[in-house]
Amino acid sequence: MQKFSAICFLSVITFFLGGKSVQAQDESKPHNRESQTDEIGTVFSPNAFKVPYLGVDGAFTIDTKEISATDPRNPKRIVFEKMEFFSFYQDLEGKTALAEKCQYVYKGAVGDPFYYPKQSKTSIWDLFELASGDEACNNFSYVILRSPHGDPVHMHMRSGNAESSFRQLLDMSDAPEVKDNINPWWSVYCAAGESGCDY
């Protein structure tokens, strides 16, 4: 009789503990799925682990041989300081400032909605958000870069004010092609003083 009681007691405890164990596993499943999904969707800058500051350091001027040189959205000269401070100029020489010493925070990388990944696995934008600067910097609150790449080195940039967003700038890649309006927006910048760099 005592053996029978002991077996029943152990069976009941095993049932309750087993049930709790299964329940705990079930509750943890959605959490595990979410973290796996995040890992699968991670995109890194093509310049990560290759060049200092993702190559976002130094002066770049608009490629005067490209139609994008006539686009008023594109500053003619941009100076980057170690991927943190950006200055934008109206002229190639950097005499007329649009905004200077704007401080940015790097927000990661994302594939271009039109090209990535089917047409180009390296068509990835690096995202920068304004952290501080004078009022003029607010016109460049969001900056996305196809960071310097290629030989000769060149880059592409889009920017927007505080009313803009990263999503709005990225979605311009899907805009219908209209040459007169210079859309989709693809500015081309060369290392300062060079042109004809996008080939």
Other Cβ atoms closer than 10 A to 111: 19
Where does the pLDDT of residue 152 fall: very low under 50, low under 70, confident under 90, or very high at 90 and above?
A: confident
Q: Give residue limits of the domains in the chain.
A: 1-42, 52-191
Would you say residue 36 has pLDDT above 60?
no
Amino acid identity at 129:
E
To which CATH superfamily is domain 52-191 assigned?
A: Calycin beta-barrel core domain (2.40.128.20)
Q: Cα 140 vs. chain centroid, distance in angstroms?
A: 15
Whether pLDDT at 43 is above 80: yes
Comparing 63 with 120, the larger pLDDT belongs to: 63
Identify the weakest region by mean pLDDT among 4-8, 80-84, 96-100, 185-189: 4-8
| Exposed e or buried b per residue across 119-128, where buried means at least 16 C-beta atoms within 10 angstroms of its C-beta | eeeebbbbbb
Specify the higher pLDDT residue, 66 or 36: 66
Give 90-145 pLDDT, tens digit per residue: 999 999 999 999 999 999 999 999 988 888 888 999 999 999 999 999 999 999 99
Q: How far apart are CA 191 and CA 166, in angstroms?
A: 25
Q: pLDDT tens digits for 12-28?
A: 333 333 443 333 333 33
Structure tokens at 164: 């803009």
Question: What is the per-residue pLDDT across 163-199, written as a single tens digit (0 to 9) for each?
Answer: 999 999 999 999 888 877 688 898 999 988 777 776 5
Burial of 192 (0-12, 13-18, 19+ CB in 10 A): middle
